[in-house]
Every structure is written in C-alpha cells, then in structure tokens.
Structure 1
C-alpha cells in the first residue's frame, strides 16, 4: 500500500485539506469497483491531535502526529488561512519533519500557498514551484532562491510537486492519482467530483502550461513544434529559422518567454515523454531513450536524474502501473 499523508496545518484552509484526503480514499473505492486492489493508505497528520482550520471555524482530528511519521510515500501540504507569516509561525515546528521525510525518499506536494511552508524547508532552493498568483510577489521576496513559474497549474521537480491558486489544487490531486494508479481512476474521480481533468491524453505536458503565459506568437509556434517532434533531431538553428530570428535573438526571446533556454525546454519535454512511457508501458530504458530522441545512455540517464531526482530505472520501478496490477 502507498502511504499518503495529508498534513493538517494549524489554521489551515479546510477547502484544501479535505480534497486530497477524500480523493485518494475515493480512488480506492473506484479501484475496488474495477476489480483491482486499493493502493492508497490515506491519513491526516498534524502537530496536534485536534487542529483548528480556517479562523477556528472547523477542527480536524488527525490520525497521527507528524512527529510519529517516520516514513511516508507522499506528503501533501495544504495552505494556511489568512496571513502567510502567521501561518508559517504557527507551523514552524513542522518544517524539520518535512525536510526529514523528503530526505528519506518521500514525495512532497504543496497546494496553493502551502508552497510557503514547503519553501521554509529550503528544499525548493534552485528549483521551480507554483503558488497562488496573488502571492507570487510576496513569495519571490521571501524566497529569492526559488524560481516561481508564474501562471503554472502544476510544477514538478525532483519528486516535489506544487500547484497554483485555488481550484488548481484539484489538477495536482488528479495528476498524482493518475500517476500512482491509472488514468481510468483519475477520470472517474474527475467525474465524481464534477472536475475538468484538463488533459485529453497521458502525453500532455502539464508542467509546461504556465510557460505559455506570454504573447510571443513565434515562440509559441516553436513550443508547439518541440512538443510534437521531440523524438527527432532538433537543432537550435532550425528552431531559430522557425521563429524567423537569428540564433542569438531567438535564444534571448525564448528564455524571456518561457523562463527556459531552448535546450532546457527540449530536455524537459523529452523527459516528460519518457516519464509517461515508463508509467504507462512495459518498455525498457533503452527503448524509451530512443523513443524520446536520445541515443547516448549516459546523457539520457544524467538529464533524467537531474530533472526528476531519480534514475530512469528507479523511476520506472517506482511509477510503472504494472507494479499495482492484481
């Protein structure tokens, strides 16, 4: 069973605390209905047995104290209610536990401005994350070493996930359910809770949606081309030609628009595609490597690990759907 621990922050937002808990439990019900084994063991964890939510309007009873959680597969961090600094101060005791769990191998996901609590650990330094658009400037000022993807719905970096504002937390919850179980279950969850799953196929590059929040039409055309032809040999010169610009001008415009260099963007697209193959097929590492446009095993392994935090083999072993088959 996969352990999913939903942290209940002191004065957290009840509308963000209950969705992941309910969704993963409901996923178990659908898996059972499909004739499969339930795979999620879901719990509320917190600093205290009873935790106030919102402005004290609600109280959530936790299943375990955070200090008693030595390991978990997925830790979810919802946002706090009201002033972010007060939320950080009220939950300061939890920060070292977040860090320790991640170092022991837990995946960590922040919802909305739960990113503030996650960023307090320092785990986001040098990485990308999402948070509510209204808090981006405050977040950047407090955590200058973290790269915020303005407008991104979901961000994923080295087993750390984050969602943007408000209802986008559902996008992340659905994404994680699909990743750890299967798309059929995620679709059923989206229908059950009347949600737009937001993706027509497993091959969509979710983490790049926020990088289209710009008005450079030529760069958007290049992004489309990369995402449709990532398995082919692509040169910077050919992309610059597509954008009707010199190489130097093109690289500057691409970085300005997407916050990635063209090479970084191509790498991320290819690795996203590789992750999808590992999750949904029985292909081995070499087959996937060729399928996504790489011919050098070491280069593929190094780039994959840099982006995901895992080697291709470790990722396949952890996320391949076949590992959950009855």
Structure 2
C-alpha cells in the first residue's frame, strides 16, 4: 500500500486541488477492487493544525493527521498556494523540515500549479525542471533563478519530484501518478470517469503572452513598448540598439535579464500573440494574418507559431475559433 499525504497548508490554498486529489486517489481503490485487485492507496489530509480556515473563513478543512503523526509517507501532494508567495513560505515554514526528511527517506513529491513556488522554497528543486502556471513564469524565475522552469510543459518529473503547469493540469499529473503506481489500465479508467485528456503534455496552446514589465530598466521597457506597438514591422536588434542608444550586446544582455526572453524571442512572441487573437476571432486566412503581423515567409511563420503554441495555425483556429468549433460540432 502506498501512503499519500495531501498537504493542507496554512493560508489561501486551492480547495479544488485538495478535495479533488483526495477524491481521485481514493477512487482508484474502488476501481482496483472492481478489477479483482487489492487497494493501492492510503490517502490522508495532513497539516500543521487540525482546524484550517480557507478563503477568509468561507471553507474549513480539517486535516486527518498532523505532520508529527506521519512517520513515513510515500507521496506528498502540495496544492497551489495563492497570494504573496514569500508570506506563504513563511506561514508554512514548519512543513519544510518534514517534507525534506520524508523526501530523503524515499518519498516522492508532487506539486500542483503555483504550489511550485513553495516546493522551490524548500531548496529541493535546485537545478531541476519545474512547471508552474504560465502566468506566473516570470515571477517564478525572479524568485528562483536556480530552478529550470519549463513553462510550456503540462508536467515534469525528475528524481521523484513532480510538478504540474497551470490550473487544471493537476489532473494530468494525478493521472500520470496513478498510471505509475496502479497501472495504465487504471489510469485509463480514471481518465474516462473524470473525462481527463490522458495524453496532454503541453500548456503552450493556453499561454497568453504578457511581456514582463515589472523590472526597472526603462530603456528596455521602451524597447518592449516599441515592439508591441509596431508588431507589423520587420524589427531588428540593431535597429532597437540604435533607437535606444545601446550597444547591441548590452541591449541583448539587459533585455534577456529584464524579460527572460531574447530580443528576437520577444518580437516573435508579440507577433504570434496578435496572430493568435486573429485566429480566435476573425475570418481572415492564415496568410492574411501572417502578413498582418509582418511575416512574408509562410514556412517561417508556421514554424515559429508551432514552436510557441505547440499547434499549427490551422489547429489553433479549429481549437479556439467559436465559428470553427460550432461548425465541427454541427
């Protein structure tokens, strides 16, 4: 039997992550019994206090055990923790020695969405790949530059530590862990029962690019604004360097530091974001939208679009254009 400890942190945490993972992992035992096999999981809610108020008292969660009562566990599940991440880390600092001790004794750790901030705060993520919600990618990189954030992935797994991307991608990680510990057939049953796409691996199609502007480098902010206002033009690094009186290497170094993108990547992502919105809302052809955002080479445009979103322009339109969706379902 595998013991699963679903943490109930202090502060504003995801009730959905806590209750949902408790339900799904517990349901696995029912599926296994129906298949004539032994139950696989012992699932418990674990916290620092017996009474845990959530969302300003709107919800109350009562952990079944306190961390001191769990001498050995096999899998620790960390839900998303909302709000100021530094405050969340301080509020839950007493969880950290227990988590590290259990990991050193062989426990696996899975964290959902922005729960990755708390896990990274334990120091266990240094040098490892990590996923989190794409919207908080820049904030994460600033707080934890020694962690290899891969914000396009739905989930990661390395050295017994698993992370999931944005929002409901925790379902994909949960199914993956069920497959690992209970078998592919049970994972398929769970995916069908809860209607979870078992083979999703990327959150790139869902990312809305929002240029990182929380930095204090004013010339770089102006360069970003110029790119965003003139996305239809062919903008070069040399052009921007001259425009803002910066040497090319200096511009590239400062731009990367401030935005977590190279200048070329930023230009491409701004153009692709505009093209995405066109594919979502307009009837223009892919080529028309390509020209609108300053591309003349069809192959280059499609290659960059696929790299950024994980989908071809046509696949993206079919997925997100209302008229396209209605036509397919008619």
- Shorter-chain TM range is 0.5 to 0.7
CA distance in 1 between partners of 2:148 and 2:132 (Å): 11
Rate the CA distance shift 1:86–1:160 in 2: closer, same or farther, 3 A. same
Q: Does 2:148 match 1:150?
A: no
Partner of 1:84: 85
Q: Does 2:61 match 1:50?
A: no
5+ residue gaps, structure 2: 208-261, 263-330
Cα shift at 1:7: 0.5
User: Superposed, which structure 2 residues align to 1:18-57 within 5 Å?
Assistant: 18-57=19-58
Cα shift at 1:63: 1.1
For residues 88-122 of structure 1, the C-alpha deviation after alignment (integer angstroms, 9 at most, x for no partner) is 22211111111111111100011111111111110
Q: Secondary structure of the equivalent of 1:138?
A: helix
- The answer to whether the Cα contact below 8 Å between 1:54 and 1:81 also exists between their aligned partners in 2 is no
Structure number with greater CO (CA < 8 Å, separation at least 6) is: 1
- The answer to whether the Cα contact below 8 Å between 2:165 and 2:203 also exists between their aligned partners in 1 is no
For residues 46-89 of structure 1, the C-alpha deviation after alignment (integer angstroms, 9 at most, x for no partner) is 00112122333211111110122221110110011323223222
Rate the CA distance shift 1:19–1:163 in 2: closer, same or farther, 3 A. same
- The answer to whether the Cα contact below 8 Å between 1:77 and 1:111 also exists between their aligned partners in 2 is yes
Cα shift at 1:210: 6.5
Cα shift at 1:198: 2.4
Q: Secondary structure of the equivalent of 1:98?
A: helix
Partner of 1:104: 105
User: Superposed, which structure 2 residues align to 1:1-326 within 5 Å?
Assistant: 1-11=1-11, 12-198=13-199, 206=201, 209=202
Cα shift at 1:9: 1.1
CA distance in 2 between partners of 1:129 and 1:186 (Å): 23
Partner of 2:282: none
Cα shift at 1:15: 1.1
CA distance in 2 between partners of 1:88 and 1:40 (Å): 29
For residues 294-314 of structure 1, the C-alpha deviation after alignment (integer angstroms, 9 at most, x for no partner) is xxxxxxxxxxxxxxxxxxxxx
Number of equivalent positions: 207
Cα shift at 1:155: 0.4
Name which one, 1 or 2, has greater alpha-carbon Rg. Answer: 2
Rate the CA distance shift 1:173–1:129 in 2: closer, same or farther, 3 A. same
CA distance in 1 between partners of 2:148 and 2:138 (Å): 12
Cα shift at 1:21: 0.9
Partner of 1:298: none
- The answer to whether the Cα contact below 8 Å between 1:24 and 1:177 also exists between their aligned partners in 2 is yes
CA distance in 1 between partners of 2:14 and 2:206 (Å): 28
Rate the CA distance shift 1:69–1:184 in 2: closer, same or farther, 3 A. same
Rate the CA distance shift 1:90–1:22 in 2: closer, same or farther, 3 A. same
- The answer to whether the Cα contact below 8 Å between 1:73 and 1:107 also exists between their aligned partners in 2 is yes
